[in-house]
């Protein structure tokens, strides 16, 4: 079964995978019903989460069977609640490549003017390229863009586009997969085959492996960056219950006033 799921994830077009996922949630939630693990996004409990990932990043007990949240989504959800005014203030929000656990919940928040955007997704409000977005300057109070930049060839152009559409003082959360054992991000334009990209970057459609210098790359694009180890505000039991990545740092990026 794991091999079949891996094959489908790698071969089926992303828009089709997104549509198919709507039909498997309820059966999976029933199969995995239990109390050991909990998803704070959908507020449901399970005996375990599903395995998820590509190649060497495929790990057990990661994906919520009900809302399809991953560890990064669960941590971000709790961080937004605890550390920001995202759920209370009137905000213009841009969500790039929106994650399924969040879309409906964010759209239902009356305080948000919420716009989702992506170049390929069939469920977004606006089709646009992150390297050349259709939005006006200084438009958004908050931008969310998670696990996207590792897919983008011109990373600095994408970062600067996000900076452009933010209002002065506006905030962005721009998470990426990071290997903290690397002092510097590794990227090599000659690595183009899916096999080699999976070998060196961990996934067949990634174009770099980010290292500990990631916040410096954000600052180079013009952001003021705060590094928040919010995950360490939880007990070890809570980290295990929510199945957090214990090394995850949240990067809060601000556009200078």
SS (H, E, C) 88-138: CCCEEEEEECCCHHHHHHHHCCCCEEEEEEECCCCCCCEECECCECCCCCC
Give the chain's mean pLDDT: 89
* Distance, CA of 234 to CA of 244 (rounded, Å): 10
Q: Coil, strand or helix: which one is 179?
A: coil
- Per residue in 240-251, is it b (16+ CB within 10 Å) or e — as a string? ebbbbbeebbbb
Predicted confidence at residue 4, as pLDDT, reads 52
What are the tens digits of pLDDT across the range 14-73? 455 445 555 555 666 667 677 899 999 999 999 999 888 766 666 788 989 888 899 999
Pairing of strands 140-145, 126-127: unpaired
The predicted model gives 206-213 an average pLDDT of 97
What are the tens digits of pLDDT across the range 116-141? 999 988 889 999 999 999 999 999 99
- Per residue in 49-66, is it b (16+ CB within 10 Å) or e — as a string? bbebbbbeebeeebbbbb
Domain ranges of the chain: 2-69, 72-254
SS3 content of the chain, % helix, strand, coil (to 5): 35, 25, 40
Q: Is the pLDDT of residue 161 over 50?
A: yes
Reported confidence tier of residue 148, pLDDT bands at 50, 70, 90:
very high
Q: Which two tokens stand for residue 90?
A: 């009137």
Q: Is the pLDDT of residue 111 over 60?
A: yes
pTM for the full predicted model: 0.87
What are the tens digits of pLDDT across the range 88-105? 999 999 999 999 899 999
Predicted confidence at residue 57, as pLDDT, reads 64
CATH topology of domain 72-254: Rossmann fold (3.40.50)
Predicted confidence at residue 237, as pLDDT, reads 97
pLDDT greater at residue 32 or residue 148: 148
């Amino acid at each position: 079964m794991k091999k079949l799921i891996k094959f489908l994830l790698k071969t089926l077009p992303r828009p089709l995978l997104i549509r198919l996922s709507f039909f498997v949630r309820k059966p999976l939630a029933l199969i995995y019903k239990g109390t050991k693990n909990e998803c704070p996004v959908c507020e449901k409990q399970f005996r375990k989460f599903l395995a998820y990932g590509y190649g060497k990043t495929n790990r057990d007990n990661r994906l919520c069977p009900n809302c399809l949240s991953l560890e990064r989504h669960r941590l971000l959800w709790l961080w937004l609640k605890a550390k920001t005014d995202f759920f209370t203030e009137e905000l213009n929000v841009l969500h790039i490549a929106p994650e399924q656990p969040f879309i409906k919940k964010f759209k239902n928040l009356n305080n948000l003017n919420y716009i989702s955007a992506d170049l390929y997704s069939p469920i977004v409000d606006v089709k646009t390229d992150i390297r050349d977005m259709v939005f006006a300057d200084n438009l958004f109070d908050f931008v969310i863009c998670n696990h996207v930049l590792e897919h983008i060839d011109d990373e600095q152009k994408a970062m600067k586009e996000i900076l452009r559409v933010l209002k002065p003082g506006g905030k962005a959360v721009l998470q990426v997969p990071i290997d903290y054992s690397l002092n510097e991000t590794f990227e090599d334009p000659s690595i183009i085959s899916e096999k080699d990209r999976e070998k060196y970057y961990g996934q067949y459609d990634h174009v770099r492996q980010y290292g500990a210098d990631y916040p410096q790359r954000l600052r180079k694009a013009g952001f003021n960056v705060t590094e928040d180890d919010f995950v360490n505000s939880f007990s070890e039991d809570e980290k295990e219950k929510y199945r957090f990545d214990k090394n995850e740092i949240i990067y809060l990026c601000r556009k200078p006033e």
